Amino acid sequence: MAKIILHEVGLRDGLQIEEQTVPTDRKLQWIERLAASGLDMIQVGSFVNPQKMPQMADTDELFRRLALPGRKHPGVVFTGLVLNEKGLDRGFACGVDYFCMGVSASDTHSRKNTGMSTAEATDRIVAMGRQAAAAGKGVQVSVQSAFGCGYEGHVPQDRVVGIVARFLDAGLATVSLADTAGHANPAQVRELFGALRALGSGISMACHFHDTYGLGLANAYAAWAAGVTHFESAFGGLGGCPFTALAAGNVCTEDLVHLFHRVHERHDVSLNAIIDVAKDAALFFDRALPGRIHTTGPIPHGQAG
């Protein structure tokens, strides 16, 4: 099987819903420790209106400081989320090398999240993705609410596949399906990613699950079995989309890494380093976080299950 790629999104999706703003220096400490753990990708933040989302107000500064001499992390890709052309321009200006952007398959969620319909957002994201790719940047495009919507309920599979086909036609081949509302189940995950795989061999599939109803890890495992290679997660299980009906945390990074360790994958990633960041986040927010392994500790490597 292809190598599993671990994409940490706690600094963006994990923090965007928090009312208590994390200082820039503390974010940098977390990023440095996560980068040293062996994770492949770290989403530093999103380029959104700082008045609407003050937690992301320092995203440009974070990218500039990460580019300073002495802060290079070979093998780690720092990513940024953009929703519109203004965000893309900001990302170019502060040196982002890898952009994440997407559209919701739910028209209601799309309008709440971006102020645009699904059709409008798709046209703009395709154009932005092409612009970023033409500039030599890495690009991942996503379909949010791919497995269901907290407002609309069922999202037809052909609607999701149709959006992905548009991405592929535009030459945007790294595609993430996001379970924004946490409605996915393992059988649905296998079926939908199977439908994407049938679109062509050039697609690189990513997944982004929320644990709203307790199926996050099960869905991640089903995605892996279906050929998904890129996994997005947040330390401590932080996060949740503020524009969905019922916000809940992401699949927890240390829980996901522990799962892969148990099936003899990605032992090069230091679980203890990620656990330390999760514990520090719990101290900062002064509450228990939803993840498991940072409280229970991992099952020792090699111990029979």
**Residue positions annotated with a catalytic role:** 241
* 292 token code pair: 């498991």
Cα separation of 147 and 151, whole Å? Answer: 12
95, 64 in Cβ contact below 8 A? yes
The most distant pair of C-alpha atoms in the chain lies apart, rounded to whole Å, by 52
- Which among 251, 240, 246 has a CA at the least distance from the CA of 291? 251
Phi, psi (5° rounding) for residue 256? -65, -45
Cα separation of 226 and 189, whole Å? Answer: 8
With 0-12 / 13-18 / 19 or more C-beta atoms within 10 angstroms meaning exposed / middle / buried, residue 61 is middle
- 246 residue type, one letter: L
Q: How many helices (H) and strands (E) does the chain have?
A: 11, 8
**Helix or strand holding residue 77 (H, E):** strand 77-82
5, 229 in Cβ contact below 8 A? yes
109, 71 in Cβ contact below 8 A? no
Q: How far is CA 191 from CA 150, 151, 225, in A?
A: 21, 23, 11
Helix (H, G, I), strand (E, B) or coil at 100: strand
